[in-house]
Chains A and B, each alone.
Chain A
């Protein structure tokens, strides 16, 4: 109890110190990195100015009345309660202003929704609580990976100082080439998520069972950070999105490197492992991919996320568990994990089947996963 209290106080005072240490105080939208973002920025400025002008008009009048028409100044109330001309004017003028606003808004919207003829198509899948990316067409087709929060837990719990990109850093960022039209298909594996990168002016819900799309064309190289924007459960605040926009050459190099890695992992799949080595590797995979739901002690957070320790599936025939890991389970929060390599999957299954109350003693080899994929 006292420890927790001390942590709270320490955390709060650190934040108070932070106010003076680094002043962000950003007042407006993030600097846009796409043409559409620039349009949105301009649109927002126009409407803001219109609102401020009307606001000053209306409350200027109110302020004047509050000052000049006070009883304490001896002002006697007039008794008018209608004026047809004024009433028509203040109905028609706002209407005209709204039409003027709607015009540029419509133009911008039509451009934002035109996803035709992309150079690159990537599917973004929202999982509880990470993003998965599949490069579907264009340069890099076939690349597929998961993108997890990279901020260590001790930074979140205040036992380590927070890094510069606290909560906005991932292990595998989405890499795309600069100046190319990137179409992003969104879908959810379990509940609704939302793919949101402010600087790219993109936010698209990821609905389970459906595919929706959006697009962006980044003008500048750089790293753009965003977050899941639709409440998706416990770790909704911990599934960031990082997009790295790189030059065409760098992108080609990245694609080459990625493809080589996949090939290496495929060869790797024929290697035969022993229990200890596989378990050790499996624990790492578990920490990255499974721990958010099933917990470090394997007890899960029932009912949505059942315990693995003592689970019937985990202690039953291994084929059933392999199929479950590869395909997920319909109608539950269990997502498919086929993006992981054969070795990683073999390792994590071995780890789970030999941890906590589970003592099957079985070693699952990567080759078995490879076979099960077919």
Chain B
């Protein structure tokens, strides 16, 4: 880890504000769970700037909002403001825990946009605007992001109901003991359900081309001898190399990209709204469907957050099992992503198919232990659901000790020194690591830029502090390094696996009280871990009932897309495809 750059005057988690800012903090909240500082809306930028510059909180990890309309808990007694914008800040230089800031907003008020302090607030603020209707003053491009422009209402507000709306909370009463089955499609009240925002006419509406960075892109001036014109080109949403249903809106001149904007939401299913109807445990299998390549880490991240909130112990053996599954999952992810970076480069299929051979074996192991290859649903609050079956340990040990190292070496030989890969990858998609951090990018991307920031070391969770492993870094922050860092990380995962499989003790796998009737205590929590794609976090707020009051997923794929535009400008269209590939996104997690 690099030298600390700021002089710290407060321990992590404590707000050591300069005297002139002391009155900016108007309240504290939820001390029993994770303490939050409530900041006056008009002072929030000052506070953020101070924390960033004076205290080293350079990473805006999570920005979301909570709607407290109809909240029944005790903690909000006497507080009128309906909405509460939440900021979680971390220090990538120093590591350690987060500072949580809240800003309370009445329904129609605006909040100053944090994008001037943390450019990474861009996508997250747009999401909050889209789903909650909070307006951010000074945001460069505040328009809907997951939903389409003609969408009526803000679905994460508690008074917004979906088309199939039955009740506010599961279990629904109609299922038992009378169980009158109704065909879901019959229930969609199309006629009643389709309403439009005021002043919006579906017939005359045309998609605006007012995409700020794209429409206002600078004219290309490098080639004055050519009489050219820049045009807007849509890559996607159905283009295979966009890795799913995803659109890159570009302004190009010739082959050169002048501006690029990610457009998403085609796979949006309002995961978080579903999550607030679900009981705590019901959300577990839903997390499988976020980053569907890594259901094991998704499970763990969610379990981690809930365990933190409800203070649940995890038995020793379960901790080991979690590490084993998560690291296998990281290898699966990295093999996959290496294969597809190469695919995007034009090395069709051969590297991809070689890379996923071992993935097959690992998925077989997942299936043997959890019952499914990808939708594992394996972890529970307080442990894991099943112990290893007969023979599993030997097979896993064979993989970790023999097969995987061999396969990674082979992948290395196949690709790393390949001249074409170097020519295409070196120096392409460069963005300095400082820029990446200010854009809230996390995971392999920043490690390929030279910063050894990995939550497994910076704020160890589970039992990661017991293992001997390194955080590989590479200096160049280009596509080539983003490819190679994943190979190096997979090697470290193998090392962790070898130790975990050697040391795993016998014993309990599931602690007592995380069942389906769990009631988490009132309060809030932000739990995160180092998922293969970056920081995966769950922000949870509870009013003490059997359902989460707020269930928010801070997904690395989504937030890493902040950097897609800045990284692509100036490169060719063909490079933009690989730049996207090297971010390694999964649309299930981007769109949620």
A and B interact: no
